[in-house]
Amino acid sequence: MNDYAHLRLKDRIRPGVRVLFVGINPGVRSALTGHHFAGPSNNFWKLLFESGIVPERVSHVDDDRLPEWGYGITNIVARPTPGVSDLTLTELRAGRTALERKVKRYKPEIVALVGITVYRALFPRSGVVRPGPADHRIGDAQVWVLPNPSGRNAHYSYAEMVKAFRALGRAARTR
């Protein structure tokens, strides 16, 4: 057995968050550090600041501060893996149910899915998916799709990622 399979990241959510960021599952580095989006090539934290979502530069070690600014963070599946292909359909289905419970409990206005893969895992019959507001809801929350901020994401330029995160920030501020 690997040395990370038993690890689980804590959700960083509290009642009243405006936006709940949702990843698909923790990567190995995140599991080992105990912090969300901890991969060295992951731009999530940099994008939060550069888009104006958070007021200061933060990194993965600051993930517990997100609720201070009205944001929360969780994953569909709690089990860490080296890649999304290691997840099972059963895990993804159970994760959707768990996410629906979290949305009902914490009542975010927006559920921001961090990556098109996350969106497709939750809404598998969807057609073309683009960053921005989606036609779906989870509970009473509007669903937004963000580009995957991983350095391995070759589908979107960094400038396109900043643009998508800025649009989410504007939507969160106007609610």
36 is catalytic: yes
Name the fold adopted by 19-173: Uracil-DNA Glycosylase, subunit E (3.40.470)
Whole-structure pTM over 0.75, yes or no?
yes
43 is catalytic: no
Ranges of each domain in the chain: 19-173
Reading across the β-sheet that carries 110-114, which strands appear in turn?
Answer: 71-75, 19-23, 110-114, 141-146, 132-138
Amino acid in the structure at residue 126: S
Amino acid in the structure at residue 55: P
Per-residue model confidence as pLDDT tens digits over 77-110: 998 888 888 888 899 999 999 999 999 999 999 9
Q: Which member of 2, 6, 36, 43 is catalytic?
A: 36
Residue 134 has pLDDT above 80, yes or no: yes
Q: Which member of 25, 43, 148, 153 is catalytic?
A: 25
